[in-house]
Amino acid sequence: MKDKKINRYLKQSLFVLLTVGLCNVSLADNIKDKILNSEQTKALNTIKSMTAAFHQKDMKGIMASYENGGAVMFEPGKAITDPDVIQKMFEGFFQINPNFTYPKGHEVYIANDIALHIAPWVMTGNTPDGAELSKSGLSIAVLRKQTNGDWLMVLDNPNGQALMEQ
């Protein structure tokens, strides 16, 4: 009799756990941007401001999103920290008039004065001869909170998916 009660209890517990788990997965799939606290929102706004500056070809606005010595990985495995080279790389991208969107939203995690931003992106543009371009990837950026309260990027890797593609 005792074994039957234990088995029934285990089956009921397993059913509850599976039901709750499936509900949580279903809910998570429908949330694009999680509800962010004020610091997460500030960090995300750095990303959004940089993207807007990029679309406007505003080099000063782009560079203002990065901490001095910050690195950008324009290509997988290659971190560039020289601000002159970073600026030239961005200017090169302007030639295709790229437009970046984040169709699945953003995730921002904070520990002390460090933030991690993760977001799948889609880029469309046109080559100089008019051919349409389309590319997608995973942006992973590390930001640091500055003494004035602003968040600036320290590491910006728009090719976070590269390891998955090897």
Residues pairing with 116 in the sheet: 109, 142
3-class secondary-structure state, position 70: strand
Over residues 117-122, mean pLDDT: 97
Token pair 């200017």: residue: 91
pLDDT, position 24? 36
In this structure, are strands 107-111 and 132-145 parallel, antiparallel, or unpaired?
unpaired
Find the largest Cα–Cα distance for the chain: 79
Over residues 129-150, mean pLDDT: 96
CB 141 within 8 A of CB 47: yes
Predicted confidence (pLDDT) per residue in 35-79, tens digit: 889 999 999 999 999 999 999 999 999 999 999 999 999 999 899
pLDDT, position 103? 94
Cα(159)–Cα(166) distance, integer angstroms: 12
Structure confidence at residue 1 as a pLDDT band (50, 70, 90): low
More confident residue, 2 or 13: 2
**Residue % of the chain over a pLDDT of 70:** 80
pLDDT higher than 80, residue 141: yes
Distance of CA 33 to the CA centre of its chain: 11
Structure confidence at residue 7 as a pLDDT band (50, 70, 90): very low
pLDDT, position 162? 83
pLDDT higher than 50, residue 15: no
Over residues 152-164, mean pLDDT: 93
Cα(164)–Cα(166) distance, integer angstroms: 6
Reference 141, options 55, 58, 51; nearest CA is 51
Cα(148)–Cα(166) distance, integer angstroms: 41
Residues 6+ apart with CB under 8 A from 122: 100, 101, 102, 103, 134, 135, 136
